[in-house]
């Protein structure tokens, strides 16, 4: 297993962040406004991610190919002498508080404090920690957009708690415990998001394997440009879509059990196609999606190594069709975005993340980007007055994960 470097400490000039909901001058100022002036605080960043391909297969143990993006959650924190946690977020009003005790209980479903409690729980799986933190969280990552803002929050908060207690975790430790903690908010996801958020490398996609756990950065040709296009419908996994998301996982698992195949990795290696007629409709579709997507990831990795953008794009589009037709997790808005992008010259496009709303990712060559962007505005966004280009239609670069980003002291 490739172990990413532990957190490195060095000073960098504080940067001004654009907040998710409000425009704040900086995380440090937000902290001072919330908890008082005069203390030394530390800034820690956890990026969002775009999944390039490999959707709804991580929880079945099949490799996926995400990349971290430049938009991120920033936690400005100060260690406390007791076990209390106090936190504010620029995206949600009000202070959240709890004690780091055994038997933490979740708050109301959908409340952002559950991600902080999940982080505290995750940390308690691996370490004994005594010091809580005061934390001000800012973000330029759209929420419920399929860009992993919630996992970035959970991961960033876990890293802040660990750092405040003088603990430097390895990637292997974190990859083991963070997905478990996500179950605190009710989803039965896989480990893709945490792997991408932690271990991505600038300029690379991250091939993430689960059995055995492993990550491998694969350089993305600089001419491959990725646009993220928000469908303007939220995909809030911790809310009402939780059951639909968990249902995809259950259908795929039941299919495997009924077929008597030990794992989806084994299913991909079957020489004879299994007979699916005894499966229920949802199980059959889930099985076809998972095995098809697993094969597409293998082919996409090959296309990426070969620098074959056309082939890579075609695989993205095929992935979208399978998510739409087999798994049923797309929406008319996402389908329209994908069709518009393809019709205006994009090499490939697909929904990214869990689906049910959220964003599409679009692959273009440099001279296609502007045309695709303009066509998306003309055909889709112009009909939506809530469209805000900076947060709904933007380019993303393959970026470094949290373990490669510095902790920054800030006064
Ligand atoms: C969410 C989960 C991931 C993964 C995707 C779908 O983002 O957190 O683990 O299952 O959905 O690919």
- Spatial contact of 397 and 33, defined as CB atoms under 8 Å apart: no
Task: At 279, give phi and psi (nearest 5°).
Answer: -85, 150
pLDDT digits (tens, 9 = 90+) for 14-48: 233 333 333 345 888 999 999 998 788 999 999 99
Ligand 1: does its nearest atom lie under 6 Å from the Cβ of 193? yes
Ligand 1: does its nearest atom lie under 6 Å from the Cβ of 192? yes
Nearest to 188, CA basis, from 119, 264, 241, 256: 241
Distances (CA, A) of 229 to 146, 271, 293, 334, 372: 11, 39, 22, 9, 11
Whether residue 2 is predicted with pLDDT greater than 60 in this model: the reply is no
Q: What is the pLDDT of residue 4?
A: 31
Q: Whose CA is nearest to atom 1 of ligand 1?
A: 354
More confident position, 240 or 298:
298
Ligand 1: does its nearest atom lie under 6 Å from the Cβ of 49? no
Mean pLDDT of 299-306: 98
Q: How many other β-carbons are positioned within 10 Å of the β-carbon of residue 411?
A: 10
- Determine which of 108-122, 195-209, 273-287 has the lowest per-residue pLDDT on average: 108-122
Q: What is the pLDDT of residue 13?
A: 27
Domains of the chain (ranges plus CATH)? 26-216+400-409 (3.30.230.10)
Rounded CA-CA distance 284/256 in Å is 10
**For a pLDDT cut of 70, what percent of the chain falls above it?**
92
- Determine which of 3-12, 253-262, 361-370 has the lowest per-residue pLDDT on average: 3-12
Ligand 1: does its nearest atom lie under 6 Å from the Cβ of 58? yes
pLDDT digits (tens, 9 = 90+) for 368-382: 999 999 999 999 999
- Catalytic residues, which ones? 193
Mutation probe of ligand 1 site: the residue of 354, 356, 358, 360 with most atoms within 8 A of C-beta: 354
Q: What is the pLDDT of residue 24?
A: 44
Q: What is the pLDDT of residue 268?
A: 96
Ligand 1: centre distance to CA 354 (Å): 5
**For a pLDDT cut of 90, what percent of the chain falls above it?**
78
Ligand 1: centre distance to CA 151 (Å): 10
SS3 of 94-130: the string is EEEEEECCCCCCCCCCCCCHHHHHHHHHHHHHHCCCC
Whether residue 10 is predicted with pLDDT greater than 50 in this model: the reply is no
pLDDT digits (tens, 9 = 90+) for 44-79: 999 999 999 999 999 999 999 999 999 999 999 999
pLDDT digits (tens, 9 = 90+) for 340-395: 999 999 999 999 999 999 999 999 999 999 999 999 999 999 999 999 999 999 99
Ligand 1: does its nearest atom lie under 6 Å from the Cβ of 293? no
Mean pLDDT of 241-254: 91
């Amino acid at each position: 297993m490739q172990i990413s470097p532990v957190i490195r400490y060095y000073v960098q000039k504080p940067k001004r962040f654009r907040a998710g909901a409000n425009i704040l001058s900086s995380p440090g100022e937000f902290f001072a406004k919330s908890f008082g002036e005069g203390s030394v605080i530390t800034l820690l960043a956890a990026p969002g991610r775009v999944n390039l391909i490999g959707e709804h297969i991580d929880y079945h143990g099949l490799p996926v190919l995400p990349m971290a993006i430049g938009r991120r959650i920033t936690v400005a924190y100060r260690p406390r002498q007791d076990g209390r946690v106090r936190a504010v977020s620029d995206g949600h009003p009000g202070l959240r508080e709890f004690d780091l005790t055994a038997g933490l209980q979740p708050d109301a479903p959908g409340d952002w404090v559950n991600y902080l409690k999940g982080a505290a729980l995750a940390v308690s799986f691996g370490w004994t920690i005594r010091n809580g933190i005061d934390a001000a969280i800012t973000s330029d990552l759209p929420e419920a957009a399929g860009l992993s803002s919630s996992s970035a929050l959970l991961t960033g908060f876990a890293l802040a708690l660990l750092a405040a207690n003088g603990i430097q975790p390895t990637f292997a430790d974190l990859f083991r415990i963070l997905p478990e903690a996500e179950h605190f908010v009710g989803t039965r996801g896989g480990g893709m998001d945490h792997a991408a958020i932690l271990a991505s490398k600038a300029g690379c996609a991250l091939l993430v394997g689960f059995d055995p756990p492993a990550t491998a950065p694969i350089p993305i040709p600089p001419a491959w440009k990725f646009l993220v296009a928000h469908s303007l419908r939220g995909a809030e996994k911790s809310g009402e879509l939780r059951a639909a998301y968990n249902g995809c996982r259950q259908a795929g698992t039941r299919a495997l059990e009924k077929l008597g195949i030990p794992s989806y990795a084994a299913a991909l290696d079957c020489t004879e196609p299994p007979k699916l007629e005894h499966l229920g409709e949802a199980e059959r579709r889930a099985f076809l999606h998972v095995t098809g997507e697993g094969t597409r990831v293998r082919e996409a990795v090959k296309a990426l190594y070969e620098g074959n953008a056309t082939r890579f794009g075609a695989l993205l589009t095929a992935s979208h069709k399978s998510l739409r037709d087999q798994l049923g997790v797309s929406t008319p808005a996402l389908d329209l975005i994908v069709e518009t992008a393809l019709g205006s010259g994009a090499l490939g496009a697909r929904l990214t993340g869990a689906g049910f709303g959220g964003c599409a990712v679009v692959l273009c060559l440099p001279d296609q980007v502007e045309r695709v962007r303009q066509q998306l505005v003309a055909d889709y966004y112009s009909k939506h007055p809530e469209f805000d280009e900076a947060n709904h239609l933007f380019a993303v670069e393959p970026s470094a994960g949290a373990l490669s980003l510095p902790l920054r002291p800030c006064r």
